[in-house]
Amino acid sequence: MALKNFVWRVDAGASRITDLKTNAVSFGDGYEQVSSFGINNARVSWSVTKTAYKAEIDAIYDFLIEHKGVTPFYVTIAGQTKSYRTDGSIGTPHQSGDVWQLSFNLKQVFIP
């Protein structure tokens, strides 16, 4: 399956969160042993917004809905291209006139 590219730029100020998955075992003497949970234990997610005219917002919204939060796609953020999927809700508040804003979360996906 060939992944599509998210071709739009998002607004500056996108927020990156890195979630580190680990296993930890604590012993009675205070010693704790920690190991990586899987080979890809650092997963990046982004909270992003895009402010643009309604036609562009609608095109991005259609792209995200087409993927249904399940199918991953490539996104370039901060100069790095990785595979992501949408995670959670997609918001489209009206700003003024023909200007709208789109907000959504991206969760990194590791493709075998």
Does residue 20 lie within any of the structural domains?
yes
What is the residue-wise DSSP string for 38-91? SS--EEEEEEEEEEEEHHHHHHHHHHHHHHTTTS-EEEEETTEEEEEEE-S--B
Question: Domain for residue 91, yes or no?
Answer: yes
Give the whole-angstrom CA distance, residue 77 versus residue 30: 41
Q: What is the mean pLDDT of the chain?
A: 91
**pLDDT tens by residue, 55-64:** 999 999 999 9
Q: What is the pLDDT of residues 15-55, one digit of tens each?
A: 888 888 888 899 988 889 888 877 888 888 999 999 999 99
pLDDT value of residue 101: 96
The one-letter amino acid at 107? K
Residue 33, domain member (yes or no): no
φ, ψ (nearest 5 deg) of residue 64: -65, -40
| 79 falls within a domain | yes
Q: How many domains does the chain have?
A: 1
Which domain range does residue 89 map to?
A: 11-26+46-108
State the pLDDT at residue 110. 92
